[in-house]
Amino acid sequence: MRCRSIIGCVIAITLLYAARARSQENIELDVGELGEMVQVAEEWAKENLDEEVLQSLPEVDRQEVERFLNQFQTQLKGQYVLDLAALKDAAKAVLPVLDAHEATKPYAAWLRSRLDYLDVAEQFRKNQPPPKAGEPAKPPLNPSPAVEQKVWKQQLSDREWPKGASDLVPKLKPIFTAEKVPAQLVWVAEVESGFNPAARSPVGAAGLFQLMPETAKSLGLRRWPLDQRYQPEPSAQAAAKYLRRLHSQFGDWRLALAAYNAGEGRVRGLLDRNQTRNFDSIATQLPAETQMFVPKVEATILRREGVSLGKLSKPER
Q: At what angle do helices 232-250 and 165-178 cross, to 10 degrees?
A: 50
72/53 Cα distance (integer angstroms): 18
Q: 162-168 — which CB contacts under 8 Å span 24+ positions?
A: 162/190, 162/194, 162/195, 163/194, 163/195, 163/196, 164/194, 164/195, 164/196, 164/197, 165/189, 165/190, 165/195, 168/195, 168/208, 168/232
Residue 316 annotated among the catalytic residues of the structure: no
Please provide the distance, in angstroms rounded to a whole number, between the alpha carbons at the two ends of the chain.
61
Catalytic residue among 64, 192, 289, 298: 192
Closest CA to 280 of 269, 291, 272: 291
Cα-flanking dihedrals φ and ψ of residue 237, to 5°?
-60, -40
Which residues are known catalytic residues?
192
